């Protein structure tokens, strides 16, 4: 790329708009109920997980180029369904994200949870783990 | 808010940086292998799906305020794990998204799939449905 | 099949034993930590869900023969990982199932929930729906 | 228990029949389309996975009693939805299981895959891992 023609960075709204067009061209909005989008998002997340599932530790250095490409594609699928769902329900995804980080910061106080993912039972009456 | 002090819009990098800080403060990076992040992302996606699962059609008008708030929070959780995974693996999430839309546009040509989510068997040798 | 040699019905222990053999022959026990089995089970469940995800209602009459075969295979995958996980953790799956039905019968009293999957918010402080 | 009155072992049909009764009493069959059951099954599988997700290795010795009880309950939920789905679609779950093991034995020949979950890329053109 020459210095005089920088490639413009992709923005959130670019993705949203491109997805709207993709769906409209195919007349697929009829299938895209929020429920179906949430289902598709879950399926894509599981396809992402599948790539990691038998790795000994699941650290980055266990991933070869083929796995990395597949991961990149599945992450894109997850994001795309998330953006379509946000669009359908008028959710400001980035604001929601920041809001949730604040809520999690309150739910998991530093002094209580630092370095410990296993003491959840001590600070959560629910047997499910939802931290870190 | 006064007109003279607009709230700056949240940017992708703001979320990424805030998550980095959140994790560092709690010393949780040790738990955040890409494999574990992909697992957590899938769990959050399923929690999102759970909100919709018994709705008759799953359209937006079936959602009350409580459901909408829960959806917003679960979508934030999904995004947050996706951003952490992208950060861990140096994936440019938005570029990947655009790339995948281009690949999907080739995979699902308009003239072949328009208005039809059920003819997948006609254009896919795999019994699985991965469109729309 | 002749009338004099009926095919013996498959028993739970037959499946468990056949899976043990399958895994032993391939030396795959090393990959089958309970965590990895739970992950694989989730991935298979999502592959099952994928078959249904764009169907208008998801009732049985929308499924063609190809879909039915794919569903049968994915259900088998789910069961197989569930049996392997039960074997690894010494869980009596059928006893656990009966136990959980008793617990659910208490959690969802007939007079309170009859015919209603949407009133969960009235009898559950948690915004998540886990009934029916 | 006295020696003369052994507790009869729970059979598959006992679970199926008890679930039929549970659903009928609550008039919940209307919500139990195969699609919704597949969705609920996926959600329960993810709740099972959640219990394991931050464990260092996910081996059995990392599980305390509380985790084991939660696992047992989530496994029961998965089985219960699987049995209801099999009932709705007239699938012989155990026969399907045996059938799939035979198919997998062909797909993953011992001499090719023994002790190796990572060489999938060498015997699978698809970047996804579906073995072991």
Q: By the CB < 8 Å criterion, does B54 face chain C?
A: yes
Q: Which two tokens stand for residue A20?
A: 């709207």
Is there a contact between B43 and D49 (Cβ–Cβ < 8 Å)?
A: yes
pLDDT of residue C86: 98
D24-44: average pLDDT? 97
Report the half-sphere exposure of B51 (CA within 13 A, side-chain side): 27
Q: Which of C55, C70, C128 sits opposite B128 (nearest CB)?
A: C70
pLDDT of residue D132: 62
Residue of C nearest to D84 (CA): C75
| Three-state SS letters, chain D | CCCCCCCCCCCHHHHHHHHHHHHHHHCCHHHCCHHHHHHHHHHHHHHHHHHHCCCCCCCHHHCCHHHHHHHHHHHHHHHHHHHHHHHHHCCCHHHHHHHHHHHHHHHCCHHHHCCCCCCHHHHCCCCCCCCC
Q: Residue A78's closest CA among C47, B42, D107, C21?
A: B42
Taking each helix axis from N to C end, the angle separating B12-26 and A93-107, rounded to the nearest 10 degrees, works out to: 10
Give the lowest-confidence range in A38-47, A68-77, C68-77, C113-122: C113-122
Please name the residue that has the structure tokens 């994001």: A79
Chains B–C, number of C-beta pairs less than 8 Å apart: 47
Look at D4 and A70; give whichever has higher pLDDT.
A70
Q: Model confidence over A4-58: pLDDT tens digits? A: 677 678 999 999 999 999 999 999 999 999 999 999 999 999 999 999 999 999 9
Q: Which chain D residues are within 8 Å of B36, Cβ to Cβ? A: 53-54
CA–CA separation, C66 vs C51, rounded Å?
Answer: 10
Q: Do B10 and A98 touch (CB under 8 A)?
A: yes
Give the residue ranges of DSSP H helices in chain B.
12-26, 34-52, 65-89, 93-107, 110-113, 120-123
pTM: 0.90
Q: Would you give the DSSP letter of residue B119?
A: T
Q: Residue D16's closest CA among D90, D96, D73?
A: D90
Q: Give the minimum alpha-carbon distance from B11 to chain A in angstroms, rounded to a whole number.
A: 7
Q: Give the minimum alpha-carbon distance from B2 to chain C in angstroms, rounded to a whole number.
A: 35
Q: Give the minimum alpha-carbon distance from B70 to chain C in angstroms, rounded to a whole number.
A: 6
D46-52: average pLDDT? 97
Residue of C nearest to A38 (CA): C53
D45-72: average pLDDT? 96
Q: What's the mean pLDDT when you consider all of chain C?
A: 88
Q: By the CB < 8 Å criterion, does B2 face chain C?
A: no
Q: Which of A54, A69, A129 sits opposite D129 (nearest CB)?
A: A54
Q: By the CB < 8 Å criterion, does C86 face chain D?
A: yes
Among B37, B42, B43, B49, most D C-beta atoms within 10 A, so best to mutate, is: B43
CA–CA separation, D12 vs D79, rounded Å?
Answer: 10
Look at C1 and C95; give whichever has higher pLDDT.
C95
Q: Do C39 and A53 touch (CB under 8 A)?
A: yes
Q: What does each of the 132 residues of chain B score in pLDDT, given as a tens digit?
A: 445 667 678 999 999 999 999 999 999 999 999 999 999 999 999 999 999 999 999 999 999 999 999 999 999 999 999 999 999 999 999 999 999 999 999 999 999 898 887 544 444 444 344 456
Q: By the CB < 8 Å criterion, does D26 face chain A?
A: no
Q: Which two tokens stand for residue B39?
A: 């697992």
Q: Residue D82's closest CA among B74, C15, B77, C66?
A: C15
User: What ipTM describes this predicted complex?
Assistant: 0.88
Q: Give the minimum alpha-carbon distance from A127 to chain C in angstroms, rounded to a whole number.
A: 14
Q: By the CB < 8 Å criterion, does A46 face chain C?
A: yes
Q: Model confidence over A59-100: pLDDT tens digits? A: 999 999 999 999 999 999 999 999 999 999 999 999 999 999
């Amino acid at each position: 790329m020459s210095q005089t023609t920088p490639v413009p960075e992709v923005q959130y709204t670019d993705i949203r708009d491109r997805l709207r067009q993709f769906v409209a061209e195919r007349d697929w909005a009829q299938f895209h109920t929020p429920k179906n989008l949430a289902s598709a998002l879950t399926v894509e997340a599981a396809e992402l997980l599948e790539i990691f599932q038998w790795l000994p530790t699941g650290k980055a250095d266990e991933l070869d180029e083929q796995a990395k490409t597949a991961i990149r594609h599945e992450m894109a699928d997850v994001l795309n369904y998330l953006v379509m769902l946000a669009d359908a329900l008028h959710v400001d995804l980035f604001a929601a994200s920041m809001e949730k980080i604040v809520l999690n910061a309150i739910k998991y106080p530093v002094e209580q949870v630092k370095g410990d993912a296993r003491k959840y039972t001590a600070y959560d009456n629910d047997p499910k783990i939802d931290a870190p």
